[in-house]
Amino acid sequence: MISEEDRTSFIGLAKDYYKYSTDAPPQYGEGTALFVLGHALGYDAIHLAKPKARHHNMYQLLIGESTYARKTTAQDLFKDIYNGSRGLPNEMSPEALIEVMANQPEGVIWMGEFSRLLKGINNKGHMAGFAEVFDDLFTCPLKWSKKLRGKENEFIVNKPYLSLHSTITPTVLKEQMSAEMFEGGLMARWLLIHGDAHPQPLERLSPDVLRLKPALRNILDRITEMDRNVQFEMSDEALKYYNEVVLKEFQSEEYQCTGAFAGRYEGYVITFADLYLVSEAIGLSVRGKAPNLSKILRLVDLLELLELDEKIETEHNIQINSNIPINSTNYSNRRIVVQTRHVKRAFEFVLPCLKYVKELSMYVNLGKATARVREFIRKKRQATRSQILRGTGVSSNELELITQTLSARDEISWEMYKVQSKKRDREYDTQLYKWNYGEKL
C-alpha cells in the first residue's frame, strides 16, 4: 500500500501523472521524473563524496521496442512539465552547442533517436565531436572553455550544467555498440533504463492529468527560482550501507564485464538518493505541512522541513549539521543528511540498469552474431536449428561455431529432435538447442 507521504512526494505525483497518461513501462516514468528534478536542482546543489563533489545532472537513455514501449511518449510527458527556457535545441553541431551554452550554461537536450549519435560517433563524422563535449560537461567543471575552429574568440562556459535524455530500441543499441564505445568514457555516463512493452487497450484520459501537469510544472519552476546552494552527505548508517552494497554488487565478479559502467552507476545511486530526499520534502509542502513552495526562498529551508514532520519516525528524521563554517565556494553552511531509506530506493532503481548493461556486454564480448543466437535461445528456452537460422540471420556455418562456443560456456545443451516435414510425408532429424538456466543472463 502506498502511503500518503509517498503519494504526495514529487516522485509520487509524477508517477501518478505518468500512470494516468500512458501504459509505457513504469521505470521510464520514475527515471525521467528523477531526471527533471535533478536538473532543476542546478549546479550549486552538490553531494559531498570523494573524490569530488557530485552534481545531479544525468544522461539517461530509455531502451525499448519500437512503438509499443512508448519511449517518446514517456519523454514528451516530462518535456511538457520541464522545458521552456531550460530546453536546448536538439538539432545542432557540437560547435553550436558550445556557443549556446556560453550564454545558457544550464540546459536540457531532449534528443530523439540515440542511434543518430551512435552512428555519427562510429563513422567519425561531425557528430563525433559530441563525444568529447559530452564527456567534458558530464562532470560539471567550474569553468569550461573551448576555442572553435574558424572563431577568433575562446568560448567560456561558467558552471556548465547539462542533462541529456534520449531513446533507442534494444536491437539498434546492440548492433551499434562497438567494443571501443562500450569500454570508452561516453557510454558509461549514460544510465540505461530498459523497459518491456505491455500495451493496453485504449482508455479515456483521466482528468487528474489536467490537475497534476500544472502542479508538477509549478514545483519545478519554484525550485529553479530558489537559492539552490545546498550540500548533501550520507549519514553514517547510510554510508555504511552504501559501501556494503557497492562491494557486494557493483564491484563483484558478476559485474566486472560492465567495465566503467559499474563505477559510474555507483555515482548515480548517490544522485538518486539525494533526489528521493528532495522528493519527500516537496511532499510536506504538498500536504500542507510546510509553507507553500513559492514562499520558500532557499532550497536548504525546504529540505530542513523534513525534520518537522511528526509522522516520520524518530530514527528516520533528517539530520542537520549546522556547525560547519561556510567554505570558499560560498555554499550553504548547512548540510542535508541523506538517510539509509533514500539510498535503498536508489539501489532498487539503479541495479536493474546495471543488470541490463551486463546483458549488453555480451554483444561486445561474444560478438554480435553469437550474442544474437544466445539471446534467441534464452528467450525461447529451446529452439530447433532451422528456427535459430530464421530468427537470427546467421549462416549455417556460423551457427556451428556459435553453438560450440555456447556449449563450451555450459549455457546451452542440445539433442537430436524428430521433425515432421510439411512438404514431404516423412520425418527427419535436426538439433534442438536448450537454454540451461532459468533467468540467468
Residue indicated by cell numbers 532429424 = 429
Among 71-85, 320-334, 402-416, the range scoring the smallest mean pLDDT is 320-334
Query: What residue ranges define each of the domains in the chain, with the CATH number in brackets?
Result: 4-363 (3.40.50), 367-435 (1.10.10.10)
316-319 own/partner pairs: CB under 8 Å, 24+ apart: 316/341, 318/277, 319/235
Q: Helix 26-41 vs helix 260-286: angle between axes, to the nearest 10 degrees?
A: 80
Is 421's pLDDT higher than 60? yes
pLDDT recorded at residue 262: 94
The pLDDT value recorded for residue 60 is: 97
Average pLDDT over residues 294-310: 74
C-alpha closest to that of 270 among 299, 237, 236, 242: 242
Q: What mean pLDDT is predicted for residues 176-180? A: 79
pLDDT band of 374, cuts 50, 70, 90: confident
How does residue 312 score in pLDDT terms, banded at 50, 70 and 90? Answer: very low
- Taking every pair of C-alpha atoms in the chain, what is the biggest distance, in angstroms? 88
CA distance 305 to 298: 12
Q: Residues 281-316, buried b or exposed e (16+ Cβ, 10 A)? A: bbbbbbeebbeebeebeebbbbbbbbeebeebeeee
User: What is 297-338 written as a DSSP string?
Assistant: -BHHHHHHGGGG-TTS-GGG---EE------TT---S-EEEE
Residue 319: how many other CB atoms lie within 10 Å: 14
Torsion sign, CA atoms 380, 386, 389, 390: negative
Mean pLDDT of 199-205: 87
CB 24 within 8 A of CB 31: no
Residue 45: what pLDDT?
Answer: 96
Least confident among 290-294, 298-302, 314-318, 332-336: 314-318
Q: What letter would DSSP give residue 429?
A: E
More confident residue, 191 or 176: 191
Query: Is a pLDDT exceeding 50 seen at residue 200?
Result: yes
pTM: 0.82
Q: Give the residue with greater pLDDT, 63 vs 410.
A: 63
Nearest alpha carbon to residue 191 among 122, 130, 253, 263: 263
Mean pLDDT, residues 389-412 taken together: 86
pLDDT-derived band at 149 (thresholds 50, 70, 90) equals low
pLDDT of residue 285 exceeding 90, the answer is: no
Rounded Cα gap, residues 288 and 269, in angstroms: 30
% of the chain residues with pLDDT over 90: 45
The H or E element containing residue 220 is helix 208-225
Please check whether residue 374 is in contact with residue 297, taking contact to mean a CB–CB distance below 8 angstroms: no
186 in Cβ contact with 134 (< 8 Å): yes
Mean pLDDT of 413-427: 71
- The grid coordinates of residue 401 equal 561455431
Q: For residue 330, what is its C-alpha cell?
A: 560560498
d(CA 290, CA 137): 36
Average pLDDT over residues 275-300: 84
Rg (CA), the chain: 24
Label residues 332-367 b or e (16+ Cβ within 10 Å = b): bebbbbbbbbbbbbbbebbbebbbbbbbbbbbbebe
The pLDDT value given to residue 425 = 65
pLDDT of residue 307: 57
| pLDDT score, position 71 | 92
Question: In the prediction, which pLDDT does 324 show?
Answer: 32
Report helix, strand or coil for 181.
Answer: helix
pLDDT above 80 for 398 = yes
Q: How confident is the model at residue 330 (pLDDT cuts 50, 70, 90)?
A: very low
CA-CA distances (angstroms) from residue 244 to 21, 238, 241, 270, 344? Answer: 38, 10, 5, 14, 12
Summarised one tens digit per residue, pLDDT across range 104-145 is 999 999 998 898 888 877 776 667 788 888 999 999 999 988
| Residue 409 pLDDT class (50, 70, 90 cuts) | confident
Better-predicted residue by pLDDT, 408 or 58: 58
Q: Which range, of 4-8, 120-124, 188-192, 295-299, averages the lowest pLDDT?
A: 4-8
Q: What is the pLDDT of residues 210-269, one digit of tens each?
A: 999 999 999 999 999 999 999 999 999 999 999 999 999 999 999 988 989 999 999 999
Task: Give the pLDDT confidence of 14-44 residue by residue, as tens digits.
Answer: 999 999 999 899 999 999 999 999 999 999 9
Asked whether residue 419 carries a pLDDT value surpassing 70, the answer given is: no
pLDDT of residue 315: 33
Give the mean pLDDT of the chain: 84
pLDDT of 2 reads 44
Cα torsion 252, 256, 261, 263: sign: positive
